[in-house]
Amino acid sequence: MNQSTHSHSQPVFNPPLNQRPLANAIRALAMDAVQKANSGHPGAPMGMADIAEVLWRQILRHNPSNPDWVNRDRFVLSNGHGSMLQYALLHLTGYDVSIEDIKQFRQLHSKTPGHPEYGYTVGVETTTGPLGQGIANAVGFAVAEKTLAAQFNRDGLAVVDHFTYCFLGDGCLMEGISHEVCSLAGTLQLGKLIAFYDDNGISIDGEVEGWFSDDTQKRFESYGWHVIKVDGHDAHAIREATLAAQAESAKPSLIICKTIIGLGSPNKQGKEESHGAPLGAAEILLAREELGWTDDAFVISDEIYEAWDGKAKGAALEQHWDSVFDIYQSRYPELAAELKRRLSGTLPADFEEKANAFIADCNEKAETIASRKASLNTLSALGPILPELLGGSADLAGSNFTIWKGCEGIQDNPAGNYIHYGVREFGMTAMANGIALHGGFIPYVATFLIFMEYARNAVRMSALMKQRVIHVYTHDSIGLGEDGPTHQPIEQIASLRGTPNLHLWRPADTVESAVAWKLALQRQDGPTALIFSRQNLPFQTRSVAQLADVAKGGYVLAAEKGVLKAIIIATGSEIALAMEAHAQLDGVRVVSMPSCEVFIEQSAEYRESVLPSAVRARVAVEAAHVDYWWKFVGLDGRVIGMRSFGESAPAGKLYEHFGITTQAVVDAVNELVG
């Protein structure tokens, strides 16, 4: 056990605890809000109050009157259970978080939910709570800042120039994702990333020394970080350490702050009892006495508010940046306009025209290629007009086909547009969330579909925060063949389709692949998963009307011959089976359904025109888990797909073995129509 990292000796305070009214305002608000809600985590806010007071009052560059100022420093509370720390800071410094909002902590539809949530509370940069993902988001913020600065700053005019600060705790460091992203942060030399580790030695189960004995300092030094240890209750030491971290431009910095959880609670400080439960009314009275806090619950004096108020300083900082940007804009008007466009999230004016021209070209060429290759072709066509694209793959670029001709790695050129993430699926995806949240980029990240499982919770966070992140997944089914069941995705597509606010596309050919990319890039209210094949997929001929309907997520690809008796619904590689079955059947239409979610968003009239409710004989075919499709075919329909894990064999043999064949589709239709 490294006692220097996790010992519980009490730091020397200077000044005494009861003479720290500014930090104690955080402690009082945290105690009171958690007690009123009868739920929450008072320990971390009380333990980190001194660190927070130094950072937010003395160092952080932000403007409470304009939380979206583009050159603000970013702050991430990775240990998001301590959310009252962030809410107290936002309230005290002058953001639109009132004392009434604080009183509504953890209540329905309040601005102060249980964990910080992006979009609910002004000043909250990202949703945190799932431990480790906050620091991953922070690494993404730092990548975005460094890359955007390299692309736009000119001649000493640093229009992109800010730090990313992150608070994190023992839980964040125990989560494996912290290894993934902190290792990469050191490799990428993210000098403007500064993390404060709340080294209090306590988690929910008690003292962490029984299950967390890492030498954190050596761990981060081995990553290539600049590491400083300080007394987390010594304001002078915290400030000096932060300034030293700012001065280290070639390495990210970790400031290990030895703290006491729940500091100020005489009977519960330094113990797990202060971690995740209210202190209790009696203990709060004792804590008030310990802190020298004489005001009633939720009462902050005018003197303390005045000392905390950051609006005037923030306005001055933004005004200075505005003057720098004015000079920049006069010297580099095209660059300035491009930076504004990218930060607004707006695509280039000619994007629609060029994307449509490429889709039409795909339709004319009629190529039979793997949809992963169709994806690369789309990137190669659209990438040159989208400098905001910041791509990457988890060590599978040659298999995912994510590197197009214009890609350049940021590890070689800070102004590049591609990140080699290494084998870090979870870290990659959470970093992409941070990149998207920062602004100025549209990140796309890639791996095999089966390894989406490693990244699952970060994909969920993309959807929860409604971020424009494009998740590229190749090797989409048993069609990848001999690698066997460990690499053959079965249930992953259904899992992704079940994620609220996520659009999934599984295209059948080059045209559907191009349309899927176009809509993913245009979508600004959520992420998209693009599912591509390893094997070649035959091109499907379409009319002009059908070509337009692809964007609706589902459309009639092959009309029925004669009276409509049955409908075959398919996606991706199984469209070929459906079309072969269609050639053998009368009265059957084929519906291509590359995106179920987008199809469901269409009008009732359109959905009825594609899937007439009177036609009950329906067969769905997809080389994935069958359960999802009952919502479209009904309990009387048939679903041809996977009901087990796969096997190791050539793809053709596997399709035969699992009964995903043209004949199976024909037989299912004949059985239904009798």
Instruction: Tell me the CB-side half-sphere exposure of residue 315, using CA atoms within 13 A.
Output: 6
Question: Of 334, 404, 341, 338, which Cα lies nearest the Cα of 374?
Answer: 404
Q: What is the CA radius of gyration of the chain?
A: 28
Task: Compute the distance between CA of residue 279 and CA of residue 175 in angstroms, rounded to an integer.
Answer: 27
What ranges make up the beta strands (E) of 515-632? Answer: 528-531, 536-537, 555-558, 566-570, 588-592, 618-625
Whole-Å CA distances, 541 to 163, 378, 511, 512, 558: 52, 19, 10, 11, 9
Residue 510 tokens, joined = 């080059």
- Among 7, 48, 423, smallest CA distance to 215 is for 7
Strand partners, 419: 392
DSSP state of 348: P
DSSP state of 552: G
Contact 632, 611 (CB under 8 A): yes
Tell me, what amino acid is at 122?
V
* Residue list for the binding site for Mg(2+): 170, 200, 202
Cα-to-chain-centroid distance, residue 467: 7
Q: Tell me the backbone φ, ψ of residue 535, rounded to 5 degrees.
A: -90, 160
Give 629's contacts (C-beta < 8 A, 6+ positions apart): 569, 620, 622, 639, 641
Farthest-apart Cα atoms in the chain, separation: 89
Q: Among this protein's residues, is 207 annotated catalytic?
A: no
DSSP 80-108: GGGHHHHHHHHHHHTSS--HHHHHTTT-T
CA atoms of 221 and 639, how far apart (whole Å): 54
- 368, 373, 375, 380 alpha-carbon torsion, rounded to 10°: -110
Residue closest to 59 by CA, chosen among 312, 193, 238, 311: 238
Alpha-carbon gap, residue 210 to 206, rounded angstroms:
9
Residue 407 sits at φ, ψ, to 5 deg, of -80, 140
Please identify which of the residues 175, 425, 560, 622 carries the catalytic annotation.
425
The token pair that represents 151 in the structure block = 């692309």
Which segments of 76-215 does DSSP mark as H helices, in order? 83-93, 99-103, 133-152, 170-174, 176-187
Strand partners, 369: 537
DSSP 3-state assignment of 130? Answer: coil
Q: Cβ–Cβ contacts within 10 Å for residue 16, how many?
A: 8
Q: DSSP letter at 12?
A: P
Nearest Cα residue to 512 out of 632, 389, 347, 369? 369
Which distant-in-sequence residues (6+ apart) come within 8 Å of 103 by Cβ? Answer: 33, 36, 298
The annotated binding site is made up of: 41, 81, 129-131, 170-171, 200, 202, 275, 372, 399, 451, 475, 483, 487, 534
CB-CB neighbours of 294 under 10 Å = 9
With vertex at residue 106, the alpha carbon angle to CA 101 and CA 112, rounded to the nearest 5 degrees, is 40
3-state secondary structure of 288: helix
Contact status, residue 599 vs residue 574, Cβ threshold 8 Å = no
| Residues noted as catalytic | 425
